[in-house]
Amino acid sequence: MAWRLFEEQDHAVLYQKYRLPSPSQIRNLVLSYLKRKKGKPFTLAVDIGCGPGQSTRGLASYFEQVVGIDVSGAQIEEAMKVDGPENVSYRRGLAEELEFEDGSVDLVTAGAAAHWFDMEKFMKEVERILKPKGCVALYCYRPPFELHYNDCSEQLTQIVQEMFKTLGPYQSEKCHIVQNEYKEIYHAITFPDKESIQQALGASSSETVLETKWTAFCLLASKP
Ligand SMILES: C[S@@+](CC[C@H](N)C(=O)[O-])C[C@H]1O[C@@H](n2cnc3c(N)ncnc32)[C@H](O)[C@@H]1O
């Protein structure tokens, strides 16, 4: 079963405004893995659960074509409003039914999204659409998050940690997969050649003028 909690227009608008682009450290990790396992040319990357496209657009300079896929029409609408690079396009679609030719894709990514997928069906599609030695990268982030701004970093961090503690019991059960650092997802990846990497990250957002620090984990696997 796929989970669909991000469908509304107002949700998509907030995502467009406030979500940070995928961290460059994660992108570099994924690209060097793909280079090592498959090598160039990098023709087609597909970003599943792309939301309003922050995670998709960051791949544009490295591939001939990048396609963002999301089950939510509102998220795709928001993504399409951005004057993005010309080689990036977006389509509404399901992670479990990917409309790409067999053996046509170099890289499949999913940022903060794979825990919502039906992993068994998703992996069948990944196996089908990837080129030989093509790669899949599934990454996400876990609290505690630190927020930094002038001299109120400590209070801000305390507020965000309190927020997680208070809302935690009401989260979807799927969020446990994130707290568990994607261990279930690692086991659901059917390619034997796979690895799991953790990375401490920092980023700043021009909208909020805040600096953030948190931990990302990234699962990387390569098709035989
Ligand atoms: C937390 S957002 C991540 C957005 C973006 N990748 C990022 O890193 O900013 C998760 C997205 O996955 C999408 N999604 C959830 N289940 C999906 C599925 N089965 N197929 C395609 N997209 C899905 C949601 O609609 C949502 O836009």
Condensed to tens digits (0 to 9), the pLDDT of residues 139-154 reads 998 866 788 888 888 9
Distance from Cα 48 to the centre of ligand 1, integer Å: 7
Nearest to 183 by CA among 169, 170, 196, 194: 196
The per-residue pLDDT for range 68-112, each reduced to its tens digit, is: 999 999 999 999 999 979 999 999 999 999 999 999 999 999 999
Q: Whose CA is nearest to atom 12 of ligand 1?
A: 49
Phi and psi at 22, nearest 5°, equal: -60, 140
% pLDDT > 70, the chain: 92
Q: Residue 186 pLDDT > 60, yes or no?
A: yes
Q: Whose CA is nearest to atom 1 of ligand 1?
A: 112
Distance from Cα 115 to the centre of ligand 1, integer Å: 9
Distance from Cα 20 to the centre of ligand 1, integer Å: 14
Query: Which domains occur in the chain, in start order?
Result: 9-222 (3.40.50.150)
Average pLDDT over residues 153-160: 90
Nearest to 108 by CA among 207, 38, 174: 38
Q: Residue 29 pLDDT > 70, yes or no?
A: yes
As a three-state string, the secondary structure of the chain is: CCCCCCCCHHHHHHHHHHCCCCCHHHHHHHHHHHHHHCCCCCCEEEEECCCCCHHHHCCHHHCCEEEEEECCHHHHHHHHHCCCCCCEEEEECECCECCCCCCCEEEEEEECCHHHCCHHHHHHHHHHHEEEEEEEEEEEEEEEEEEECHHHHHHHHHHHHHHHHHHHHHCCCCHHHHHCCCHHHHHHCCCCCEEEEEEEEEEECCCCCCEEEEEEEEEEEECC
Q: Whose CA is nearest to atom 27 of ligand 1?
A: 51
pLDDT at site 144: 66
Q: Residue 1 pLDDT > 60, yes or no?
A: no
Q: Residue 207 pLDDT > 60, yes or no?
A: no
Tell me the torsion sign for CA atoms 166, 185, 58, 23. Answer: positive
